[in-house]
Structures are given as C-alpha cells and as structure tokens.
Amino acid sequence: MYCVVKLKQLVCMVVVLCLLAGAGLYLCRRMDAHMADTQAAEQTEAQAGPSDDSTASPAAEPQTAAPSASPEKKDFIKWVDFDVPYEAMNAALQYDIQSQQEAVKLNWVDLLAYLGAKYGGTFTKYKESDLAALVEKLKGGTTIAELTRDMKYFGYYQKAYGAVLNGFVGPYRIQKPIENSTETQWVDTYGLKVFSPIAKGYYYNDFDDFGTARDYGFKRKHLGHDLMAQVGTPVVAVESGIIEAVGWNQYGGWRIGIRSFDGQRYYYYAHLRKNMPYNASVVEGATVKAGDVIGYVGRTGYSATENVNNITQPHLHFGMQLIFDESQKEGNNEIWIDCYQITKLLLKNKSTVVKNEATKEYSRVFDFMEPALEPFFNSPTPTE
C-alpha cells in the first residue's frame, strides 16, 4: 500500500514537471518571437543598423537617424553624452595652441575624439599619459586617420565633440591695454575665443546639477547648469552668434537664446533680472560678439505671468543645446549637455566690463573680433 501511494505521488510530480516545462517552452518561444519582431522593427526603422557616426557608450549601441533613400529621412546624430573632464579639455587645448608654432598642427577636437573612441565615451578612464602618447605619435608623422582606421566610432565622437567645441578655439583679435598707458591696442592671437558667462570680477558658485529633479509645471530633469550669483551680476555671451530668442518663458523667466554661426550650438541664458533683464543692445536677430554683456542675473521665472520673481535663489541658468538637424531644435528630440566641466574651462577667459553710471548699463572694456564676425562688423587693424 505504501508503495502504491509513493508511486501515485511520483506520477503526480512527473505530470506537474511536464506541465511546467511545457509552459516554460511556450514562454521562451513567445519571448524569442517578441525579440525577433522588435529587432525586425528596429532594422526596418534603421535601414542598415546604427551608423559609425552614432552615439557610442559602454552600455548601449550608438543612436543616429539612419540614412535612407527617402528624402524625408536624414543621417544625423540623435544623442550626445558629453562627459569630457576639464583636465582632458585643457590638456588637449594646450597641445592645440602650442602646435600652431610647429610643423605638425594638432586639433584638440580630434585628440578628444580619439580618447572618446578609445574609452567608449567614458572619461572615468582618462589618463593624461594616453593623450601624451597620442600627441607623440602625431608629431612623429602618423596621421589621425591612420591611428583611427580601426576605431569604429571615432567618426561619431569627432562629430559629437566637434558640435560642442568647434567654435571655442581659433584665430581672433582682441584689444589689450598698452603698458604704462591708458590706451589699448589690437592684437592678433590664437587660442580660446569663448568667455565665461559671468563677467570678470564677479563671484559665483556652482556644482554639477545637470539632471537633478525639477517639478514646476511637471516633473522633469534639469537640463542646464546653475551659476549662483548676486542679482544684477553682468551676464556675458559665451560665443559669438545670432540672438534667436528674447522675452518671457514661464520656466526660465526673462531669457535669451543665442545660436552659434555654424548652427550647432544654442546657448540659453535664463532667470534674468526683473524689470531690467537685458543689455539695451539685445534684440532678436542681432549679432553678438563673444564677451559682450547681454543681460543681468536675477530670479525671474516659474510663472505664467511676466516679470515675476518666483525663483528662490538668484542665479543664471546656463544651458547648451546641440543641433544636428532643425528637427531637434524644439520638441522631444532636443539634445542638452552637461556644461559643468565646460564652465570650468571658460573660467580661463573672462570678459572685463564697466558700468555706465548714467544708464546703469554694463559693457565690455576690451573689444573683440573673429573671422565669423567680419560680415557684421568692421575688422580692426592689429597693432602687433
């Protein structure tokens, strides 16, 4: 009798195991079918899979809009994570500047793109010795094309980092004071030609707040960098360009949007001062020079009503948007990058300003000129 009971229990266990195995096989087949359908859909959308010029990261394949025979679809970068530290940018910048007096000219964007491809876009792996070794090879006669021939995503990083940094370095003219004189002179130079967004002599503090939570209106991530400063602190144009937006935004308060001449960078300056947010020269469509005073720190915003101070602590919200295609300018496809490390680099170049006591306006002391500005302003003659 005992054996019969045990046999029945064993048969029941076998039946249960068979049912479980059948269900598991069914679920696996359903999962395989779902994944196959998903892959097929992605391949249909991407035509031929991700481009070499797409976003590479350690955790995911690059993202680009895929090329297509259809005229409606274009090949452009859809996402950029810019995490290049100040130390790497500054070292690459110095190599670039120093090489202008040497036989082999180095390009700091190419240097950083090489490291980006080498590290998979994760600069936590950055070592200055890697950059020095690359420079040594280039100075030895090996070209960047030869060194990157087998780097699948170098082209992506070259375009992505170029979109961030291409307007930062190059030849320019600037006024400098003549020693033991109240006069100035124009000097031709090569180097960093962008400025800190806060004028020289004015203090601010900050931390890396990109991606922190915001809940006014709706829950979202902070897509900019906040520079905490006193109300009225002069705000400076980081890069030369065209003013695309001036006026009230319920999130940013009084704000200014400036587009770089190559169209790939959109600078957003927000929460400007109540009643007198802008420099008098600021109008939509105007051309601004890097280093020009464009407005004043305040705490406006978080209100559908204009000219309201609803921001608790006065600060400048500084944002930088990348645009590879005009479809990315506004909407769900916008690309905003973390500017914290960039603002560190910009501290190397601060614009000296002076206040007009009659008008209460600030303006730059030393004028500036670069090739892209020549169609809009008369080019001065250098004295050195």
pLDDT of 185-230, one tens digit each? 999 999 999 999 999 999 999 998 888 988 777 788 888 999 999 9
Every domain range in the chain assigned CATH 2.70.70.10: 171-373
On the CB side of 270, how many CA atoms lie within 13 Å of its CA?
A: 22
Which residues, 6+ apart, have CB-to-CB distance to 193 below 8 Å?
A: 167, 168, 169, 170, 172, 290, 349, 368, 370
| pLDDT at residue 256, as a whole number | 98
| pLDDT at residue 25, as a whole number | 40
Give the Cα separation of 58 and 123 in Å (integer): 11
| pLDDT at residue 335, as a whole number | 97
| pLDDT at residue 151, as a whole number | 97
Q: What are phi and psi of 269, to 5 degrees?
A: -120, 120
Tokens of 61: 């394949």
| Burial of 111 from C-beta contacts in 10 A (0-12 / 13-18 / 19+) | buried
Residue stretches of the chain with pLDDT short of 70? 1-72, 381-384
* Of 58, 141, 126, the residue nearest 92 (C-alpha): 126
Which residues, 6+ apart, have CB-to-CB distance to 298 below 8 Å?
A: 231, 232, 253, 254, 271, 272, 273, 274, 277, 309, 311, 314
* Of 312, 310, 315, the residue nearest 298 (C-alpha): 315
pTM as predicted: 0.81
Q: Where are the beta strands (DSSP E) in the chain?
A: 64-65, 76-77, 169-177, 184-192, 213-214, 220-221, 225-228, 234-236, 241-249, 253-260, 265-270, 287-288, 293-296, 315-322, 335-336, 353-356, 361-364, 368-369
| pLDDT at residue 68, as a whole number | 44
| pLDDT at residue 382, as a whole number | 60
User: What's domain 171-373's architecture?
Assistant: Distorted Sandwich (2.70)
Give the Cα separation of 189 and 63 in Å (integer): 38
